[in-house]
Amino acid sequence: MENRYSASDAERYAKSKDGCNADLAMRTYTSRLIGQEENLVLHGGGNTSVKSTITDLLGDPCKVLFIKGSGWDLATIEPQGFPALDLTYLQRLRPLEQLSDEEMVNQFKTHMLDATAPNPSIETLVHAFLPHKFIDHTHADAIVTLTNMTTPEERLKEVLGKRIGILPWIMPGFPLSRKVVELYEKQPDMEAIILLNHGIFTFGQSGEAAYSKMIHYVNLAEEYIAASKSTAPAATQPDRPKLSASTILPLLRGALTITENGTSRPFYLLLNQDREVLDYLQEKDAQSRYTSGVLTPDHVIRTKNYPLWLNIQNSHEETLATTIKHSLVAYEKAYLNYFETQIRDKGVIRICLDPKPRVILIPGLGMISCGHSEKAARIAGDIALHTLMAKQKGAGIAPYRELEEAHIFDMEYWSLEQVKLGNTPPLPLAGQVALVTGGGGAIACGIGRKLLQAGAHVYLSDLSKKRLEKVYDLLQSEFPKERISALTMDVTDKKTVQEGMATIIRELGGLDILVPNAGLAHVATLEELDEDTFRQVTEVNTMGVFQVIQAAIPVFKGQAALGSAPCHIVINSSKNVFAPGTAFGAYSSSKAGAHQLGKIAAMELAPHNVRVNMINADAIFDDHGVSSGLWDVVGPDRMRSRNLDPQGLKAYYRERNLLKTEVLANHVGNAVVFFASSLTPTTGATLPVDGGVAAAFPR
């Protein structure tokens, strides 16, 4: 691992933070160096601090501890990510015989100098009690790998030298802080403290010193592991069968869906098929090696202690669902047994977390990480990958020694740890995946916006890359970009539709909401309408709907096979289905065909928990600068026939409807979200979004 410290870079960084406390600027700079190394910290792990003196509001000097705040990532942390606490007061807490977690947190909050600052790290008292100016703490992969082996103390002293201290696993908080400082005071020349199954602390009077010691000791561990030639045996099945993600992931996703009090919460599934992962899962002792416990209990809230091992390489297609179901049932039963055993043995009352796995290992397919958000699934996947690599590298040195389940439980059900899960009620479509075709148009923009607001991950597809990119960029300016995806797809081409569907499954595991929205318009009387144009419009407006529904059916059936939330198809039909216009025969008849397909799909797919509904919209011209493809075609003719300009045309259609209102793309989006939220047990329905056009009333 490279020591990335640069005095000139540190100086430039400090100058860029004009007015920032000098110690805090250095603290921020070296913290970022640590955070940029995934082998040191992952997703907000680790913490750093600096002791300094500031001038308070009354002009008096005040000793403070700047320490990493909750929710900040060391890789991108800014000075405001380090809340300042009254150091003198914190150090007075050391003689206490005990301090509850709740009271400890209260003391932190009541002795922060800025009430609006983020909550300080739970390790705050470790940093306060140790005398050093700069303190760094990480969960370095190489260090934790060595601590999870048999006879770790002897090996650590052999590898890292004599100027280290070693402590067994101790729960973070007040007990750990006292043990750490007591150990240091017995050997004040030590340069690092190793916490078994946890990580490493290094310290110094300068940011460079603390950081350099961290890199030094981690390098010693990495070099020892590399020199041990601990590479595990080669894959035992070089010609391993290739399992189908398109078949397996929807089955898993359906089986993993949690339903409580009538509300379903699906998972996003992220599939890792890196070559090294596939090779690891084919090793001779892969199952026993990689289904052992977490490297550090800090990971358990993200990944659970154990992954699910799913060996389905030899399963026949007709028994695949049964095999998956039995494996998941066994996993959940084991988790519940662990929970019940721990609460009984400890004599405590806790609310059981859901027993679903967060990491699934499937030889021949890869590693799957699960989460109710893309972020949660990504965090679980990153931690699981580092865990696999650490276990593989350590396999040739010594047997893996996992931490006792009693300690794992303490961490998993620690109230201060469960805060990481958050307590914000989930959005109605959280965890769901939506595909909106015709994604480069105004209506798709409104639909996408409302689906994103409701919590879904949205895929927009279109044949026109230029129009698609415009909507994609617009929505990315409003929502996190990781929740929006773009697919170039021709809904009339079965191959590209199937490829697009396979991409969605491979990237997130399945599909919950399909919105066939792609449409093509043409103005011509029946007498003038040529056959090729009629066929082209029908191909997009009717055949396109058929193609995407047909491609989605196996996904929906796979998810329903082992139980899932209701899936939804919401077809964007048109007011013209019931109230067609002259010189618009190709469009009106093809949309009527799509509408009829929706009714048939509602009847055929109901047994698979799929609800199909139609939205009949009218007179939607644009959305935030994104034009409607239909009105790009129809508008000029309608303006000429009525001698109107663009604004006059909008006014004409506004005054035509009963409510005298402008119909917006967002209104269509609201209708889609209504259906997709399963607020009513409705299928086969038609919902007008047109301001009230009497001739278009469904009948």
The pLDDT assigned to 317 comes to 76
Edge-to-edge strands, sheet with 164-167:
84-86, 61-67, 47-55, 134-138, 199-204, 192-195, 164-167
pLDDT for position 337: 98
The answer on pLDDT for 594 being more than 70 is yes
Answer left, alpha or beta for residue 9, where phi above 0 means left and psi between -120 and 50 means alpha.
alpha
- At residue 240, the pLDDT reads 53
| DSSP classification of residue 77 | -
Following DSSP, what letter does each residue of 285-321 receive, concatenated?
A: THHHHHTS--SSGGGHHHH-SSPEE---TT--HHHHH
Span of 10-14, 242-246, 248-252, 335-339 with lowest mean pLDDT: 242-246
Convert the pLDDT of each residue in 21-59 to its tens digit.
999 999 999 999 999 999 999 887 899 999 999 998 899
Distance CA 449, CA 623 (A): 11
Query: Average pLDDT in the 202-214 region?
Result: 98
pLDDT for 624 equals 86
Q: Which amino acid is at 596?
A: Q
CB 511, CB 556: distance < 8 Å? yes
Higher pLDDT, 319 or 448: 448
What are φ and ψ of residue 261, in 5° steps? 55, 40
- Residue pointed to by tokens 């202690």: 305
Q: What is the pLDDT of residues 607-645, one digit of tens each?
A: 999 999 999 999 899 888 898 888 788 878 778 888 888
Sequence-separated (6 or more) residues with CB below 8 Å from residue 596 = none
Q: What's residue 43's pLDDT?
A: 83
The structure tokens 């035992």 sit at 236
**358 has a pLDDT exceeding 90:** yes
pLDDT at 418: 87
Query: Average pLDDT, whole number, for the chain?
Result: 94
For residues 684 and 605, the answer to whether their CB atoms sit within 8 Å is no
* pLDDT of res. 229: 63
Query: CA-CA distance, 390 to 148, in Å (whole number)?
Result: 10
The helix (H) or strand (E) run that includes residue 593 is helix 585-605
Report the C-alpha gap between 645 and 651 in whole angstroms. Answer: 10
Q: Mean per-residue pLDDT for 212-238?
A: 79
Contact 566, 429 (CB under 8 A): no
- Is a pLDDT exceeding 70 seen at residue 312? yes
Among 192, 191, 187, smallest CA distance to 140 is for: 192
| Residue 247 pLDDT > 50 | yes
Q: Measure the CA–CA gap between 64 and 245, rounded to whole angstroms.
A: 54
User: Can you state the angle between helices 22-35 and 7-16, rounded to 10 degrees?
Assistant: 120
HEC letters along 219-276: HHHHHHHHHCCCCCCCCCCCCCCCCCHHHHHHHHHHHHCEEECCEEECCEEEEECCHH
641, with CB counted inside 10 A (0-12, 13-18, 19+), is: exposed
Q: Alpha helices, DSSP H only, in 398-529?
A: 405-412, 415-418, 442-453, 465-476, 494-508
Confidence class for position 259, pLDDT limits 50, 70, 90: confident
Q: Which domains does the chain have, with CATH numbers?
A: 7-227 (3.40.225.10), 245-421 (3.40.225.10), 433-696 (3.40.50.720)
Q: What angle do CA 53, 59, 60 make, to 5 degrees?
A: 50
Q: Which of 212-216, 393-397, 521-525 has the highest mean pLDDT?
A: 212-216
Measured at the alpha carbon of residue 37, what is the angle toward residues 32 and 42, in degrees to the nearest 5?
95
Distance CA 524, CA 529 (A): 5
pLDDT at 632: 82
Tokens of 523: 């103005």
Residue 682 has pLDDT above 90, yes or no: yes
List the helix and strand counts (H, then E) for the chain.
Answer: 26, 22
Beta bridge partners of 44: none
Question: In this structure, are residues 594 and 612 in contact, taking their beta carbons and an 8 Å threshold?
Answer: no
What is the crossing angle of helices 245-256 and 317-346, to 10°?
40
Q: How many CB atoms lie within 10 A of CB 394?
A: 24
Please give the pLDDT value at position 232. 46
Length of the chain, in residues: 699
pLDDT band at 574 (very low <50, low <70, confident <90, very high): very high
CA atoms lying within 13 Å on the CB side of residue 371: 20
Residue with tokens 């909050």, as numbered in its chain: 109
And the tokens for 277? Answer: 């992962």
User: pLDDT grade, residue 420 (50/70/90)?
Assistant: confident
Half-sphere exposure of 17 (CA within 13 A, CB side): 19
Residue 246 contacts residue 504 (beta carbons within 8 Å): no
Measured CA angle at 255 (ends 678, 317), to 5 deg: 120
In this predicted model, which residue has the larger pLDDT, 68 or 44? 68
Q: Is the dihedral of CA 285, 290, 293, 297 positive or negative?
A: positive
CB atoms within 10 A of CB 3: 13
Q: In what order do the strands lie in the sheet with 433-436?
A: 484-488, 457-462, 433-436, 513-515, 567-572, 610-617, 686-689
**Closest CA relative to residue 268, chosen from 450, 483, 417, 418:** 483
Check if the beta carbon of residue 442 is closer than 8 Å to that of residue 622.
yes
Q: How far apart are CA 229 and CA 132, in angstroms?
A: 37
Tens-digit pLDDT profile for residues 379-404 = 999 999 999 999 999 998 999 999 99
**Distance between CA 692 and CA 151 in Å, rounded?**
77
Sequence-ordered list of residues with C-beta below 8 angstroms from that of 272, at least 6 positions apart, any chain: 366, 367, 368, 369, 381, 385
Query: Which residues lie closer than 8 Å to 131 by C-beta, 6 or more apart?
Result: 184
Question: Is residue 83 within 8 Å of residue 66, measured between CB atoms?
Answer: yes
